[in-house]
Amino acid sequence: MFSRSILSAPFVCACVAILATAGAGAQSSDPLPSAPSAVLQQRQEQAKPPAPPPQAPESKPADPPADSKTAPAASATKASVTPATNQDPKTESLAAPSNAAATSSAPKSPSDTAPQSGIPENATAETIHVGVNEVNLIFTATDKHGKFIKNLTESDIHVVDDHKPVEKIDFFHPETDLPLRVGLLIDASNSIRDRFKFEQEAAIEFLNQIVRPKTDQAFVVGFDTTAELTQDFTNDNEKLSNGVRMLRPGGGTALYDAVYWACRDKLMKAKGATGQRRAIILVSDGEDNQSRVSREESIEMAQRAEVIIYSISTNTSGMILHGDKVLQAIAESTGGRAFFPFKIEDVANAFSEIQEELRSQYALAYRPPDFRADGHYRTIEIDAQNNKKLRVRTRKGYYAPTQ
């Protein structure tokens, strides 16, 4: 809340100017850009030679660009995104992730001692340093009954990158203790109001079990028409629980926007980019009706941020609805799983299965054959060697960097 104060007459003019500036800053917000594929298209259009100017006396542009030194800082309390310029992005000829799409001022310092009332839109992106020609993967192996296989060796699998077999795996190791960076995204729209309380308690129990104080961190986002960060990254279970309990249902559903923002502005910027598992737990009915980015763009951002998404459907009708197919597509594209509880009590079981999977994975690294740093999307396949009962799950591809 803003406090009011009475100013003396000599300072009236100065205060009016200050209040006008503050008001402009409060109303402005740096919108989330479209996905990198759409940004690439915009840049290509901007790179075209400009049309010859009409013959006229010299005049200034009608809307001159704002001076970055005098422009007020954004102070949005909830996430907003610009309308996507490409609602059906192709999976080839895409620009590499820049992780610096936002061009706003420095973000507010997130406090770990109190929940934030919203998502800062003007976060400055950090640079993530990765090997140009090395791919790091996290994958899960199960038998045909879904039981986790925890004793695989390098010789048990075969990796195919961009339809070409990988000759050598540089690193292979079971990973049960990698630090976790987890985003819990809970649908707080009107469509799930009747089962919201139970989902909150199941989510709290999951966070209490999965987050280890010394190594793991998680954050909490609730989304309806917009997304709201109620607890930033922390390893304090009590703060995470409070972040979940702060959520209140109401409004529409901007699912894709929430996934996009959580990947780009939180998990992609997580400290210590190597040696981590980045995951999103998405609890929703999958029925998006408010997002400004498309489903494909949200998946693209998750792949660029190397985030695994596990989705838990809140649809308990007993029928497979459109939203369930959406949740499945998002999860499978990132190497995760979609869960469809038959009744609300089964939501807790889904959280338990996700917890077990996150502690039953493998990590590998390889140098792709015929690699070109051209920003193209490259597919990934991991097949079992001489074991038809083995099922391997990982993300479906990645975007090559550009030099």
Give the CA angle between residues 369, 160, 172 to the nearest 5°: 90
pLDDT at 49: 57
Q: How far apart are CA 124 and CA 105, in angstroms?
A: 7
Question: Exposure pattern of 55-89 as b/e (b: 16+ CB <10 Å)?
Answer: eeeeeeeeeeeeeeeeebebbbebbbbeebbbeeb
- Percentages helix, strand, coil for the chain (3-state, rounded to 5) are 30, 20, 50
Residues of the chain predicted below pLDDT 70 = 1-132, 271-274, 403
Task: Render pLDDT for 273-330 as a digit per residue (tens, 0 to 9).
Answer: 457 889 999 999 999 999 999 999 999 999 999 999 999 998 888 888 999 999 999 9
Element (H, E) at 19: helix 12-27
* pLDDT attached to residue 132: 55
Q: Does the pTM of the predicted model rise above 0.85?
A: no
Instruction: List the beta strands (DSSP E) in 162-303.
Output: 164-165, 169-175, 180-187, 217-223, 227-234, 277-284
Rounded distance between C-alpha atoms, residue 276 and residue 216, angstroms: 9
Contact 181, 233 (CB under 8 A): yes
pLDDT number for residue 198 = 86
Quote the CA–CA distance of 45 and 335 in Å, as a whole number.
34
The DSSP element (H or E) to which 361 belongs, if any, is: strand 361-366
pLDDT at 19: 38
Per-residue pLDDT at 41: 54
**How far apart, in Å, do the first and last CA atoms of the chain sit?**
47
Name the DSSP class of 262.
I
Domain ranges of the chain: 135-176+362-399, 180-359
Q: Convert the pLDDT of each residue in 75-119 to its tens digit.
A: 334 544 433 434 433 333 233 333 333 333 334 444 443 444 444
Class of 180-359 in CATH:
alpha beta
